[in-house]
Chain A
Amino acid sequence: MKAKIHVTLKQGILDPQGKAIEHALDSLGFKNAVNVRVGKYMELEVKETDKAKAEAQVKSMCEKLLANTIIEEYRYELQ
């Protein structure tokens, strides 16, 4: 199964990259663009056909390595 994983900084945690991009968008004239948050996108394949088992593994990967849950949150889709 293919997993698409998004990792972003938790709400409320300052995202300096997001802020810098927001300022750049603003100076380009995109005045309506606010609250820019930068994150990571990862794709991987799990050698597993059972969706529940694959999901358990992806969740564990996120908790142990792919996200640092002190500062980041994650979400994923399985296909």
Chain B
Amino acid sequence: MKIGVLVFPGSNCDHDCQHVFEQVLAQTVTMIWHKETTVSGLDAIIIPGGFSYGDYLRTGAIARFSPVMHAVKEFAQNGGLVMGICNGFQILLEAGLLPGAMLRNRSLHFVCKDVHVRVENAATPFTGGCRPGQVLKIPIAHADGNYYTDPVTLAGLQANAQVVFRYCTPEGKVTVEANPNGSLDNIAGIRNAEGNVLGMMPHPERSAEELLGNVDGRLILMSLVESLKQNRLKMVGSG
């Protein structure tokens, strides 16, 4: 599969994503500079973590106006799989590809540590390899991960199973103490209504290799690759 990884000025997890997709999952990766206006020939797009445009104004606020984002929007509208990790999630929110916004962490601290998230929806292209309710240990590293949206939108997210990951204890209990940033409803990751766009604060690409002592994140990236393969098979099958 051909995976596109966006690169903004200030992206810093772009090479980690490239490394994992190429070296761990044996896929083809194209790095896409933010000035590009087309994204043809890709099976999926990853918006990596980092500090695009120095987080000026608000996280993700400037990056959403990069030329490449028009193409990403179009790609998503045509059903292409788009996954935003950390700053990528923030960009997707600012771009309106996912609902809501990020506030400063409740603690005001930049939090960089392993957290546990529970898979709330295992029937997405990004979590197909996970068991429903499975607890994954994945690191976070952010100062603005305090997810916020209005009550009506939140109710919609919950009703449509758009909440994909929630912060939890190692045993899988969703508690206030397990919430590292004050995020509404312990939300760590959401998908759009159509199901092809995912945003998540934890970094699966940082927990995808045995050498690093944690492979829980690999499940997510592998699920993405597997769902792309299934889609291709279906397309071939239908002629």
Question: Which chain B positions have C-beta within 8 A of A13?
Answer: 103, 148
Q: Which residues of B contact A20 (CB under 8 A)?
A: 108
Tell me if B108 and A14 are in contact (CB < 8 A): no
Q: Mark B50-71, 1 if CB is under 8 A from A, else 0.
A: 0000000110010001000000
B101 touches A70 (CB 8 A): yes
At the interface, yes or no: A71 with Cβ under 8 Å from chain B?
yes
Looking at the assembled complex, report how far the CB atom of B131 sits from the nearest CB atom of chain A, in whole angstroms. 33
Interface SS of B by simple majority? loop
A68 touches B105 (CB 8 A): no
Q: Does A16 sit within 8 A of B, measured CB to CB?
A: yes
B128 at interface by CB-CB < 8 Å = no
How far apart sit A57 and B14, CA to CA, in the bound complex (Å)?
Answer: 36
Q: Are A70 and B149 in contact (CB under 8 A)?
A: yes
Contacts of A9 in B (CB 8 A): 103
A13 to B146, CA, bound (A): 11
Q: Enumerate B154-185 residues with CB–CB distance to A below 8 Å.
A: 182
B205 at the interface (CB under 8 A from A): no
* Selected contact of B182 from candidates A14, A66, A68, CB within 8 Å: A14
Which residues of chain B are near A66, meaning CB under 8 Å?
A: 57
A60 interfacial contact with B, CB 8 Å: no
Question: How far apart are B119's CB and chain A's nearest CB, in angstroms?
Answer: 26
> Assuming A20-B108, A65-B65, what are 4 further A-B pairs, CB within 8 angstroms?
A9-B103, A14-B182, A17-B108, A65-B57
Which 4 pairs, one residue from A and one from B, show the smallest C-beta to C-beta distance?
Answer: A70-B101, A71-B101, A16-B108, A16-B104
Complex A-B: 25 CB contacts under 8 Å: A9-B103, A13-B148, A14-B103, A14-B106, A14-B182, A16-B103, A16-B104, A16-B105, A16-B106, A16-B107, A16-B108, A16-B146, A20-B108, A40-B57, A65-B57, A65-B61, A66-B57, A68-B58, A68-B94, A68-B101, A70-B101, A70-B148, A70-B149, A71-B101, A71-B148
